[in-house]
């Protein structure tokens, strides 16, 4: 089986895959991944990695892999284009293609495999990224802004009295009745307004679907005033199609 790993900013995500089928998706810290590899070492034949970390952190992860497997880890990098077929080519907007974050590129690869048409994709993690692909497969570019948790941390950096509830199920349209709720709802409202504005501006005649992924995707989806679809694990799925299929 193939081990797919997404080394993100805040956590690692991984799963086993074989013949276009994905086993249970997992997430956790390096010790959790270490245990998983140890438990499944006999089944793993290949390892593919997508990482937004620096070389030193990637090396730490590959050492964990090498403790259990005598397999070279294949690290994905963004390229100028991804050829799904002769008539369906996803084209990178960046002049220096490898500078596009691999997580953004793989999310686009995953969606393009499904739709073969244009889309707007938002990855709502520590940072929130938004990318637009038109119906010809041309990536038009994107934005990177602070995500929900990062916005709250930035707001509270010099404000000792602001305490945040860890699992707020608040609404962006509800006025907060505590400082924590006011901050959470305000930040959520800001992100949803931004996404809706970008969607309405870029959607145009092409009727591009809006697809959300990442840890805060569900929270944003519930509040957005425009149609959207939540799809989890886009980076891992894209890693498989990009490197294997």
Q: Check if 103 is active-site.
A: yes
DSSP tag of 98: G
Cβ contacts of 173 within 8 Å, gap of 6 or more? 185, 189, 223
Task: Check 6, 103, 123, 216 and give the catalytic one.
Answer: 103
CA atoms within 13 A on the CB side of 131: 28
Long-range contacts of 56-60 (CB under 8 A, 24+ apart): 57/7, 58/7, 60/30
Burial call 110-136: b when 16+ CB within 10 Å, e when fewer:
bbbbeeebbbbbbbbbbbbbbbbbbee
Cβ contacts of 28 within 8 Å, gap of 6 or more? 11, 12
C-alpha radius of gyration, the chain, whole number: 19
Catalytic residues: 103
């Amino acid at each position: 089986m193939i081990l797919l790993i997404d080394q993100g900013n805040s956590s690692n995500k991984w799963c086993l895959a074989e013949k276009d089928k994905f086993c249970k998706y997992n997430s956790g810290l390096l010790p959790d991944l270490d245990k998983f590899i140890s438990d499944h070492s006999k089944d793993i034949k290949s390892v593919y990695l997508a990482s937004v970390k620096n070389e030193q952190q990637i090396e730490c992860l590959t050492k964990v892999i090498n403790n259990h497997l005598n397999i070279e880890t294949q690290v994905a990098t963004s390229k100028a284009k991804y050829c799904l077929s002769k008539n369906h080519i996803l084209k990178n907007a960046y002049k220096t293609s490898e500078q596009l974050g691999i997580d953004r590129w793989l999310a686009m690869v995953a969606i393009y495999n499904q739709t073969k048409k244009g889309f707007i994709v938002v990855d709502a993690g520590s940072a929130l990224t938004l990318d637009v692909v038109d119906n010809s497969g041309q990536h038009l570019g994107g934005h990177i802004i602070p995500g929900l948790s990062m916005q709250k941390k930035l707001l509270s950096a010099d404000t000792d009295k602001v305490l945040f509830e860890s699992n707020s199920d608040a609404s962006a349209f509800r006025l907060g009745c505590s400082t924590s709720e006011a901050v959470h709802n305000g930040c959520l409202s800001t992100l949803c307004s931004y996404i809706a504005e970008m969607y309405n501006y870029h959607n145009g005649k092409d009727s591009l679907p809006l697809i959300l992924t990442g840890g805060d995707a569900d929270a944003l989806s519930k509040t957005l005033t425009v149609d959207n679809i939540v799809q989890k694990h886009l980076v891992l799925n894209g890693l498989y199609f990009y490197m294997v299929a």
